[in-house]
Amino acid sequence: MPIFSNTALSIHDILSDDRKGAMELAAVILQDPNLTVKLLKISNTPHYNPSRQKMVTVSRAIIMIGSEVIRELTLVCSFLESILSSTNKQQANEEIAQAIHAAVHAKAIAIATNDASPEEVFIATLLNHIGSISFWCFCGEQGERIQALIKDENYSREEAEKKVLGFKLIDLGASLSKAWKLGNLVEESIKSKALNKNPRVGLVQLGYEITEALKEGTGSKKYEACIRKIEVLTHQSQKVITEKLRNNTSTAFDIACQFGATDAAMLIQSRLNQAIDFEESSPVIDKKQLQFQISQDITSIISDRFDINLLLETVLEGIHRGVGMDRTIFSLLVADKQSLKEKLSLGWRKDSYEHKVIFHVMETPANIFFHTLSGTQAFWAKPSVNVKMYTLRDMNVVGKNECFMMPIFFNKIPIGLIYADRGLSREPLNDEDFNGFKYFTQQANIGLTLYRLQRD
């Protein structure tokens, strides 16, 4: 599950470093276009955005919703993207459905008890069965052997897991949560259920107890026991609790749909035997519309609460998503003017988030970076035309691709450049793309000019 692993670890590193903030968090999210689209789609739902202020950039979403909530949403989206891309079987979807359903119940109770962070309870509940979910999505023959032992030889779930795998899936979950640094509550709720006295871990457990009770029916002893537990915790009436549990199932269905877990959504609804018709359609991105929306964000940043880092990040997102580039980077000239060092990049495949891309500025012979910094306009470099400008050193860093570049100025002095290409997909560039690139990079230079004037 490399997508989830890399995302989870990168987010942990960023949020645990006081020197890093929204820009770095946005950069991690924007590495994955599918994750970006899904996160923005969910961020614009009434559940997370009751003010209904349209959010088209990740940076704006982080500011409006908060980095902690975005962290939680990113973990969920990334996790589900990793597992839903596999060959799911019935058991995997059962696990996912139960996890989402339990998470919604646990969060609702956390809100009712005035918990400091209901979203954290939601995530801890959703990822509580991460070992089981991960296994059943990728299990193959071992999963079939476990199912056979349970069905044909009356093994318990844990006995069957131990016999086939040599360990229990709950132990796998504990190991994964620790390796991926998913957070204290996730780890605590997985590894010590029986003796744990943390009331928040109790909320996670109660979420799953409710889903198990609903399988047996609303008249079952398990269901009545859950009602009594919730009654003690929230001091709500049984009527209010019953109505809330019913609404939670509908909410869980909606959330599963939003995350793209459509098979799991169907299973959630079937808990109440509700016949539904649901058709999932992938969002179609209109580049022109997206460019216009992001340009409105840029105008708002420049004219309102000016934040130079947010401006540059939004400009890069406009190029990356609005123009549709594979790799986009803003690099600053170092003190000796002999190289450019990455300040912010999107789509760059690197060994680690900490690694910075370095471009060398060569005057003799003049390479593409020197040529760009020597002018004042955007440059569309083409290997077939500018063959001598692609030095071996450059090709080792960026390859030999068509690319767009624009020098960035502060007080009329070049301080760096923005570079963009389609070096991964090899899709051709055209005049419309170049015009879009020029528009966004010009906004960066206009913003820096205004920033300097404000400082003066």
Residue-wise pLDDT for 404-435, tens only, equals 999 999 888 999 999 999 988 888 999 999 99
Q: Is the dihedral of CA 432, 437, 438, 443 positive or negative?
A: positive
359 pairs with which residues across the strands?
A: 340
Q: How far is CA 394 from the centre of its chain?
A: 31
Query: For 216, phi and psi rounded to 5 degrees?
Result: -85, -15
Q: How confident is the model at residue 280 (pLDDT cuts 50, 70, 90)?
A: very low
71 token code pair: 């962290």
The confidence band for 279, taking pLDDT boundaries of 50, 70 and 90, is very low
Comparing 202-206, 291-295, 325-329, 388-392, the range with the smallest average pLDDT is 291-295
d(CA 153, CA 259): 37
- Give the pLDDT confidence score for residue 2 in this predicted structure: 64
Give pairs for 249-255: CB < 8 Å, separation 24+.
Answer: 249/101, 249/104, 249/214, 251/47, 251/104, 251/108, 252/100, 252/101, 252/103, 252/104, 252/105, 254/45, 254/47, 255/47, 255/100, 255/104
Binning pLDDT at 50, 70 and 90, where does residue 196 land? low
Which run of H or E residues covers position 97? helix 90-112
| Range with the poorest average pLDDT among 5-14, 117-126, 279-288 | 279-288
pLDDT given at position 273: 47
Bridge pairing between strands 379-381 and 358-360: unpaired
Confidence of residue 367 (pLDDT cuts 50, 70, 90): very high
**Mean pLDDT across the chain:** 83
| pLDDT recorded at residue 331 | 94
Decide whether 2-270 matches 288-455 in CATH topology: no
Of 276 and 321, the structure prediction assigns the larger pLDDT to 321
- Residue boundaries of the structural domains of the chain: 2-270, 288-455
The pTM assigned to this predicted structure is 0.60
Find, among 255, 274, 324, 295, the residue nearest to 96 by Cα: 255
CATH architecture of 288-455: 2-Layer Sandwich (3.30)
Query: What's the pLDDT score for residue 456?
Result: 65
Average pLDDT over residues 327-355: 84
Q: Is the pLDDT of residue 141 over 90?
A: no
* CATH tag for 2-270 (out of 3.30.460.30, 1.10.3210.10, 3.40.640.10, 2.60.120.10): 1.10.3210.10
Q: Are 113 and 125 in contact (CB under 8 A)?
A: no
